[in-house]
Amino acid sequence: MGVPGPATRLGILVPSSNSNAETLTAAILAGQPDLGVHYSRFRLPPSLDDAVDLGVLGEAPALLNDAHLQAIAFHGTSGSWTGITRDRGLCAELEAVCGAPATTASVAVVEAVKVLSATRIGLVFPGPHDIAHRIRQEYANHGVDVQTMSVPEASMTNPQIALLGAREIEAMIRPAFGNAVDAVVCVGTNLRSGYLVAGLEQEFGIPVVDSAIATLWHILRIAGVARPIQGWGALLAAN
């Protein structure tokens, strides 16, 4: 008889101001008793222009490594504007520290868009307009054409983003549909857009990639434990 409890241990590095990562992940994996997810927190740098590296993450990766993980993910999207290639370098560093495959939310979104064969997307970003334009430029470097952008008039902090209600989130997402886009991408792991994905996909008939869901989708893949999970959109359903 094997050891009781989850057979697979996944590690997620969560920004200290993020209150969505654990609850959303737990909701999605409620019917997957073989998967255990463990978390370690760190404080984001003060500027959005600052890339997240091992110096920013501090002890968080090593503390997760003590749990002997099968995969690890950085639950943040800063690489979407500071550079996907730089994020892939962070993945390599995390793999060296933890001895397990690694991903980030930014890498996961790009991989998800690729798997969905989406090259023309609508972008939803709850941050500053200038950062949204940098995301558009960075995505273009990876063969993804941002056709429409939906960004709030006023910039919000991470805790403020977490307080947005379902109607406010939906109102932010809807303008991103249009111009024959192949998918809509919601960048920001503290934006609770994941709960609305299935309904919006049913209404508009195209995939919606939520960065928090994409992070879970990709960590399951790199850990070798991917499986279809229903009720959370096309990306997880086709895993």
**pLDDT (tens digit per residue) in 174-187:** 999 987 899 999 99
User: What is the DSSP track for 81-143?
Assistant: HH-HHHHHHHHHHHHHHHSS-EEEHHHHHHHHHHHTT--EEEEE-SS-HHHHHHHHHHHHTTT
Q: Domain boundaries in the chain?
A: 8-106+213-237, 108-210
Which CATH topology does 108-210 take?
Rossmann fold (3.40.50)
Distance of CA 28 to the CA centre of its chain: 14
Which CATH topology does 8-106+213-237 take?
Rossmann fold (3.40.50)
Is the confidence at residue 1, as pLDDT, over 80? no
**108-210 has the same fold as 8-106+213-237:** yes
Instruction: Take residue 30 and report the two structure tokens written for it.
Output: 């409620």
* Average pLDDT for the chain: 95
pLDDT tens digits for 60-114?
A: 999 999 999 999 999 999 999 999 999 999 999 999 999 999 999 999 999 999 9
